[in-house]
Amino acid sequence: MREVLARLTGVSSTNLKVKERVEVLHNLDLEVPAGDFIAIMGPSGSGKTTLLNLLGGLDKPTSGKVQVGDAELSSMSNSQLSHWRSTNVGFIFQFYNLLPVLSAQKNVELPLLLTNFNGKERAKRARIALDIVGLGDRASHYPRELSGGQEQRVAIARAIVSDPTLLLCDEPTGDLDRETAVEILTLLQILNREHGKTIIMVTHDAQAAEFANRTMICDKGTLEHQEAA
């Protein structure tokens, strides 16, 4: 068995924004082996996005521990979490969230501004990432000049450019047509199988989930396994 990359122990998360405190996650345990590709499915409100946020250090649990790699996220300060995120995790969102004022190249370079690499280094790494996702020839295009699928690829390139071990995807194909979705999911598979990235993907699309190694159901704040494909 491969080593465990991420581990959640007894994690509960309460949504404080609502008047009656709603517990979104109940005493949840999860182990994510390194190099795994997990799909998490479930109805809306089930807490799957919260799960992702916890793994990415965007949120802290009300109780329990979140551990990714050597870092114990639940006990880190905000600035520590920021710093941790820049090198350890990559996010991919449903709506791409690229900066419209930057070219594809510059969008991918963005995370590298937090590093000590000089301009040339940053450009080089960004090119590499763009090549991996198959968009090397579109480097100087702006998001508005790209199709949805291409934008998502740029987003993926951005997510991997600082070489994180963990990729967290929130409905990555939610806004794409079937054909493009398949391209993106295939790309994710490649990143997982050939580049060893651990991927956790939240999706409501069963067909998308099939691209993962295994699927979990998140319902009413708890996780259940489903049979692997």
Partner 1 sequence: MKYLGLIWKNVWRKKIRTSLTILSVFVAFLLFALLSGIGYAFKGGQDAASADRLIVIDKVSLINMLPMAYKNRIASTPGVQAVTHASWFGGFYQDQRNQFPQFPVDPYEYMSLYPELKLPQEQLEAWARNRTGAIIGSEIAERFGIEVGDRVPIQATIWTKADGSRTWEFDVEGIFSTDDPRGATAYMLFQYDYFDEARAFAKGQVGWYIIGVAPGTDGAQLANAVDTQFANSPNETKTSTEQAFAASFAKQFGNIGMIVMLILGAVFFTLLLVSGNTMSQSVRERISELAVMKTLGFSDQSVLGVVLSESILIMSIGGLLGLGVGWVLVQGVAQQMSAFLPGVYLSPQAMLVAVGIIVGAGIVAGMFPAMKAMRLSIIDALARA
- Site residues for partner 1 per CB under 8 A: 49, 53, 56, 58-59, 78-79, 82-87, 91, 93, 95, 97, 99-102, 106, 110-111, 113-114, 119, 158
Nearer to partner 1, 35 or 93 (CB): 93
Two tokens, residue 157? 């390139």
Nearer to partner 1, 86 or 180 (CB): 86
Residue among 107 and 198 whose Cβ is closer to partner 1: 107
Residues ≥6 apart with Cβ < 8 Å to 194: none
Q: How far is the CB of 228 from partner 1 (least distance, A)?
A: 30
Q: How far is the CB of 150 from partner 1 (least distance, A)?
A: 18
Tokens representing 36 are 């795994």
**Residue number with CB closer to partner 1 (74 or 215):** 74
In the complex, what is the shortest distance from the CB of residue 2 to partner 1, in angstroms, rounded to a whole number? 26
